[in-house]
Amino acid sequence: MLDIIIDTTIRAGTPILYATIGAIIMEKSGIINLGIEGLMLIGALSGFYFTFITNSLLIGFLAAILLSAAAGSIHGILTTYLKANQIVSGLALTMFGTGITAMLGKSMVGENIRGLERINTVKDIPFLSPVLNQDIMVYISILLLLLIHFFLYRTTIGLNLRTVGENPYAADNAGINVHLYRLFAVVIGSGIVGLGGAYLSLVYTPLWIENMSAGRGWIAVALVIFSNWDVRKALIGSYLFGGIAANQLRLQAMGTNIPVQILQSLPYLFTILVLIISSLKNDSTKQNQPESLGNPYDREDRV
Amino acid sequence: MEKILELKEISKKFGNFQANKNISFDLYKGEILTILGENGAGKSTLMNIITGFYRSDDGEIYVNGKKVTLTSPKDAIKHGIGMVHQHFMLVKNLTVFENLLVALKDKRFIINKNRYANIFLNIFKKFNLNIDLDLPLWKLSIGEQQWIEIIKLLINDCQILILDEPTTLLTPQETEFLFKFLFELKKEGKSIIFISHKIKEVMEVSDRIVILKKGEVVSILNKEDFNENRISHLMVGTVLKNKYDKDVKPSDDLLLEISNLYAKNDKGLADLQDFNLVVRKSEILGIAGISGNGQKALAEVLTGLKDPYKGKISLNGIDITYGTARQKYIHGIAHIPEDRKAMGIAPDLTVEENLILKNFKDKELGGILLNRKNINRYANDLVEKFNIQYGVKNAPVRLLSGGNIQKVIIARELSENPTILVALYPTRGLDIGSQEFIHQTIIEHQKKGMSTIYISEDLDELFKISDRIAVIFRGKNMGYFEPDNVDKKTIGKMMGGIIKDD
Ligand SMILES: Nc1ncnc2c1ncn2[C@@H]1O[C@H](COP(=O)(O)OP(=O)(O)OP(=O)(O)O)[C@@H](O)[C@H]1O
Ligand SMILES: [Mg+2]
């Protein structure tokens, strides 16, 4: 029973984790992206479509990365070089993603593919087997998380990126190309968000269903804040949220006396609670929200 | 002499406002060139053009005899130009280490902390600085932040170093350290553009001086041609006095009495320890001391930003240390804070809005709905009286030049005829004309009965304006002096903790 819960948690948390990591990278550079939901859908559909026509999951995942990165680059260019409002542009991206995937995905509804399989190595060790018997994309997400954390805090390019998000004037003054860094962060982040979408359509439920991200993109946007822009905490947040959301469904199916509304609000309540507690324990003076988040950069507009 | 930088006919407009107009001059190899000019004359604007932050509308720049186009700070760096900005280019949420590392030019992909920390600490040692590299930057005092901004420039090898008011926030000793270093750089053949409003310093370091007025070059002086009087004459049209002849005397009645006061300080700076002070009605009491000896705690206790943990403050004989009496007292106090951008203004509001921050509840100006017409009239009066140089109309106040931001704060704080003014380094960053004006304004208010606690480390200014001077050292009041009966040397020594004169 516990093994099943752990397994469900990991599988349900992984797409949200990808989306949250992607969003954190963008926000670290100072760009808010409310288009995560749209990007996930684009990733999900393009992953499914290309797997369907080529029969290759690898091509499917790559297509998901590329196409959502391409869609994200529109937001990136608009909000950097063209100084558009980030909120408006992000919302437009979500509407665009929802609309275009609904339209282009019609022919894919009801089609089948062979989804990504687990690596099944360890048999019947309690606690351990649900952790070790996942699919490769689960492990890649963890690896990616560690890599990004290392990149942000141990490399000069990562430091430059954080500087761009905190104080673009200081970054510019140091010879860092603010717009280019931001654009790259948005493109790469969007690609990672797209992977989250593809996980849904290629692994979690290997199907294309219209609007199949079902709000996970919005959860990711919120988790960025709750995890205090820390990718390690994003892991906790995503698993908590994904896990409780999926497991409460199981509970509903088994039939309990607890009202459905309460069950449905559990993932939100728990996630908020745990993340608040975890941020209390930390040095409360450590402010992680990038200071210039949401502000377009204009060199001649004095700080 | 070799020319390293040539400016030809540089012009820059912000909207309709001409900030720089046809500016031409050269910078030679191995010289220190000072730019002098009133607040808002366009000094920082010009420097920002040289570092690629602003695009000039017109004109040409030559580096080493070759024409260059500077479209970004990156271009300027490429040509060996670096700058200490008046508005710091620092990242509050990053550590000191990270702030310095971002500015360092050549570095490896993976951050090797020890290796770079050593480089930085070595430079710290040169300036006698004791700053923890792991602190987030916002935890530093603004004096320390100024140093980080300076050191960011010095860790790279630049041909042309621009320092825009680097000494405004430094103590006199620190300033000497910096100058010593600048002279070394000069000997190595580096060229330096220096900006300051402190005439004495300018005399000490400059090889040549360029004087700007309203965006134009009005004269270029060689070393043999300048002396203090000539400069102040060129700047403000008169020769500066050493002492104001005031026709007002402080009354004998006590107004404020601080006894045996203790207060903590945030950042390891001196606390107030058994501090005593008496302020009389309509008196200007100067507080002399090297910054970091408890001045900030004193100002914060007096203005209600911090509570003392022991001791007593009384106003007109009534205890106001705690409780509602303190609240009421705080309400009527005027304050010119040290960190004006962080505490003194609302940076995104306009000049008008900043000017009425204290009295927007006034019936004439607002109440529930703001009365824009009256506000404009009221603000225009102040702008004219304090000679605040706007630039673009209705622009947010952060776009003003440093000195003009300071004037906005002073104008607002004095507008309500307060009984007590606590002024923490109020003339920092002001041009000499504006300094005079601020002094005169405070004396005007003294005539109306206002008492001023005037905290400064500039003895010239304290001797000019104060009725009495108290010296603060390590959180204690070392005693009172009348400017007429003591010389600056004695006070200077006491500021360093030496009591007996030998
Ligand atoms: N980015 C900007 N946008 C609009 N106006 C600006 C901008 N930067 C400067 N100004 C205006 O240009 C004028 C000159 O400003 P500048 O900062 O160059 O003066 P300054 O000589 O350095 O003065 P200070 O001695 O007070 O530092 C000011 O009136 C200022 O309001
Ligand atoms: Mg300036």
What ipTM score was computed for the predicted complex, to two decimals?
Answer: 0.91
- Grade residue A302 by pLDDT with cuts at 50, 70 and 90: low
Task: Extract the runs of DSSP E, i.e. beta strands, from B51-149.
Answer: 58-63, 66-68, 81-84
Instruction: Please determine, for residue A115, whether its predicted confidence score (pLDDT) is greater than 90.
Output: no
What residues does each domain of chain B span? Answer: 3-236, 244-332+417-502, 348-415
B343 in A contact zone (CB under 8 Å): no
Sign of the dihedral defined by the CA atoms of residues A121, A122, A128, A134, in that order: positive
CB B45 less than 6 A from any atom of ligand 1: yes
According to CATH, the topology of domain B244-332+417-502 is Rossmann fold (3.40.50)
Residue of B nearest to A171 (CA): B102
Q: Out of A154, A172, A175, whose CB is closest to B110?
A: A154
Sign of the dihedral defined by the CA atoms of residues A257, A262, A265, A267, in that order: negative
With the most atoms of ligand 1 within 8 angstroms of its CB, the residue from B10, B45, B86, B406 to mutate is B45
Range B433-445 average pLDDT: 89
| Residue with CA nearest ligand 1 atom 31 | B400
Joined together, the tokens standing for residue B327 give 């609240």
With the most atoms of ligand 1 within 8 angstroms of its CB, the residue from B18, B23, B39, B44 to mutate is B44
Range A55-79 average pLDDT: 97
- Between A and B, how many CB-CB pairs are < 8 A? 83
Query: What is the pLDDT, as a whole number, of residue B502?
Result: 44
Q: Distance between CA atoms of B418 and B315, rounded to whole angstroms?
A: 14
Domain made up of B3-236: CATH architecture:
3-Layer(aba) Sandwich (3.40)
Query: What is the pLDDT, as a whole number, of residue B268?
Result: 54
pLDDT digits (tens, 9 = 90+) for A216-241: 999 999 999 888 899 999 999 999 99
DSSP lists the bridge partners of residue B259 as B312
pLDDT digits (tens, 9 = 90+) for B284-319: 999 999 888 889 889 988 988 888 888 999 888 888
Which domains, ranges and CATH numbers included, belong to chain A? 2-296 (1.10.3470)
* CA separation, residue A51 to residues A15, A141, A200 (Å): 18, 20, 13
Q: Distance between CA atoms of A250 and A263, rounded to whole angstroms?
A: 11
Judged by CB atoms closer than 8 Å, whether chains meet at B85 and A160 is answered as no
| Residue with CA nearest ligand 1 atom 18 | B42
pLDDT digits (tens, 9 = 90+) for B108-159: 899 999 999 999 999 999 999 999 999 999 989 888 999 999 999 999 999 9
Distance in Å, CA B41 to ligand 1 centroid: 7
Residue of A161, A267, A178 lying closest to A214 (CA atoms): A267
Q: Give the strands of the sheet with B318-319, arranged side by side.
A: B272-280, B254-263, B310-315, B318-319
Burial class (CB in 10 A: 0-12, 13-18, 19+), A93: buried
- Half-sphere exposure of residue B189, counting CA atoms within 13 Å on the CB side? 6
Those residues with Cβ within 8 angstroms of residue B390's Cβ, 6 or more apart along the chain or in another chain: B17, B351, B383, B400, B404
pLDDT digits (tens, 9 = 90+) for B440-482: 999 999 999 999 999 998 888 999 999 999 999 989 999 999 9
Question: Which residues of chain A are within 8 Å of residue B136 when distances are taken between CB atoms?
Answer: 285-286
Residue of B nearest to A303 (CA): B398
Q: Distance between CA atoms of B357 and B110, rounded to whole angstroms?
A: 48
Residue that is written with structure tokens 């500039």 in the block: B458
Q: Quick check: do B3-236 and B244-332+417-502 share a fold?
A: yes
pLDDT digits (tens, 9 = 90+) for A149-195: 999 999 999 999 999 999 999 999 999 999 999 999 999 999 999 99
Those residues with Cβ within 8 angstroms of residue B115's Cβ, 6 or more apart along the chain or in another chain: none
Residues above pLDDT 70, as percent of chain B: 97
CB A281 less than 6 A from any atom of ligand 1: no
Burial class (CB in 10 A: 0-12, 13-18, 19+), B112: exposed
Q: Out of A159, A287, A300, whose CB is closest to B93?
A: A287
Range A283-288 average pLDDT: 60
8 A C-beta contact, residue A224 and residue A234: yes
